[in-house]
Chains A and B, each alone.
Chain A
Amino acid sequence: MSESAITILGDFAEPELVDFEGLLSFTIKADYIEKEKLWKSKDLTAEFLGNFWRQLLDNEDIKSTLHFVCAELMENAVYHSVKSDYLVMIQLCFKSDELLVYVKNSAKTEKVEDFKSFVRSLLETENLQKLFVQRMKEARKSGTRKSQVGLITIIKDRGAKLSWKFEQKADITLITTMARISLKRKDKQV
């Protein structure tokens, strides 16, 4: 078995160590379904999760937040997963005062360093709105399609907290993204 280097960014908690009241999990091999079909199923899954937990928790606000957070994290996973046996996994843990969403996917190690740099800037910034405007202006100037606006929006507008675990294994890195969604109130960062 090959050694793997692990990097944690943000307040990450291993799902195995979380004392949860309920759990829903959905896992699929990245190469099993065409990307376009996985994309459509991602919308259905995110919508289902939003509706399911809204009903269960009797919390209307959670539906829209959960739908967006799950859809965005799964979009990233579908985009970056390497065609192999590696999995796209979404796992949703319910604790008494928060929901934890885990999305795990693979990515090419060579592409991960840039993403880690962005994650660090996202976690360190004191002004997410300024970062949002900056990324939009940079995207226009460079013509790039990537802007990472989804992750910024999850924290800035949906009030969730994000953290990451990177497990580097030679050419492939496994990335687990964790979103904490408070059930008490929305902790908006601006």
Chain B
Amino acid sequence: MNIEGDAYRLTWQDNVISLSGKLSLMLEDYAELESVFEKIIASKPSNLVLDIRNLEYLNSSGIKTICVSLILEAADIEGLGMKILCSNQYTWQKETVPTFEDLMDNMEIFFE
């Protein structure tokens, strides 16, 4: 599955969700991403990888969407492990993504 926005791209394949570009939509415009996350959660995957190594910018509505519609939902699926792949290249990722760890027990965050 692919979604192409004005400045961002989302792909979902083999339990890997990749987000790239700049994601700074208006709050109501995150409905499309929320619905993709819903489908992913409904498929009850045994593991999930969120690859944001090429996500240059994420606004607070995007942070909320990822935390609420993906991570907290994933946290409720028994046995599901989640990995988030990040890049040291982007300051916001270093500052913000580690704070997601308190939302889910079985989560690992990797920087490269």
Contacts and interface: CB of A to CB of B under 8 A. Distances in A.
Interface string B50-80: 0000000101110110011000110000000
A64 B92 contact: yes
A75 B60 contact: yes
Contacts of B57: 67
* Contact residues of A: prevailing secondary structure: helix
A156 B99 contact: yes
A23 interface: no
Given A71-B24, A133-B102, A133-B103, A64 B91 contact: yes
A167 interface: no
Interface in B60-112: 60-61, 63-64, 67-68, 72-73, 90-92, 95-96, 99, 102-103
A139 B60 CA distance: 13
Nearest to B26: A39
Contacts, number: 62
Interface residues on B, range: 20 to 34
A72 B27 CA distance: 12
Contact of A140 (B72, B90, B96): B72
Given A71-B24, A129-B99, A150-B59, 19 more contacts: A36-B26, A39-B26, A43-B22, A65-B91, A68-B92, A75-B26, A75-B60, A136-B64, A136-B68, A136-B72, A139-B64, A139-B68, A140-B68, A145-B27, A145-B28, A149-B60, A149-B64, A153-B96, A156-B99
Question: 4 tightest CB-CB pairs across the interface, nearest first?
Answer: A150-B60, A64-B91, A157-B95, A140-B68
